[in-house]
């Protein structure tokens, strides 16, 4: 088993998922899925240190997937970073932030360096510590 952190990336945009994978470099083991259903299976299929997910995906979107995570104790402790092209209103943001494992919501237009910094920050937090108040 690898000592590298295992990160699951969920995004139906293959180019964006590849860019994040490339930006994380060789320091992480990265697994990519295209929707929330795949995400649940990937997270249950092996140790997952962090999940990076889009919101708008086919079959099971990011919000529906987070709802499913709440039903399974094996999934509730996995830290999540939401990286999305969706423009959030204050209400939308609070809907996502109500899930305790969500560490941050980042817009896809953010620099990849900023996304990688948030990933590194989330990986350093003790598991189950929850997000800081926003």
Of residues 134 and 6, more confidently modeled: 6
Distance CA 58, CA 10 (A): 11
For the chain, what are the domain ranges?
A: 6-124
Question: What number does CATH give the domain 6-124?
Answer: 3.40.50.2300
Residue-wise pLDDT for 1-39, tens only, equals 578 999 999 999 999 999 999 999 788 999 999 999 999
Extended strands (E) in 16-100: 29-33, 50-53, 80-84
What predicted TM-score, i.e. pTM, was given to this entire model? 0.88
């Amino acid at each position: 088993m690898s000592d590298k952190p295992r990160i699951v990336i969920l995004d139906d945009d293959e180019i964006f998922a590849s860019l994040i994978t490339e930006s994380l470099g060789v320091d992480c083991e990265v697994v990519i899925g295209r929707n929330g259903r795949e995400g649940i299976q990937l997270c249950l299929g092996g140790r997952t240190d962090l999940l990076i997910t889009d919101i708008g995906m086919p079959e099971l979107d990011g919000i529906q997937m987070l709802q499913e995570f709440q039903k399974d104790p094996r999934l509730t402790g996995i830290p999540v970073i939401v990286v999305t092209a969706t423009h959030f209103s204050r209400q939308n943001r609070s809907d996502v932030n109500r899930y305790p494992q969500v560490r941050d919501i980042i817009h896809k237009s953010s620099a990849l360096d900023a996304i990688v910094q948030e990933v590194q920050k989330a990986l350093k937090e003790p598991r189950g510590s929850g997000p800081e108040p926003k």
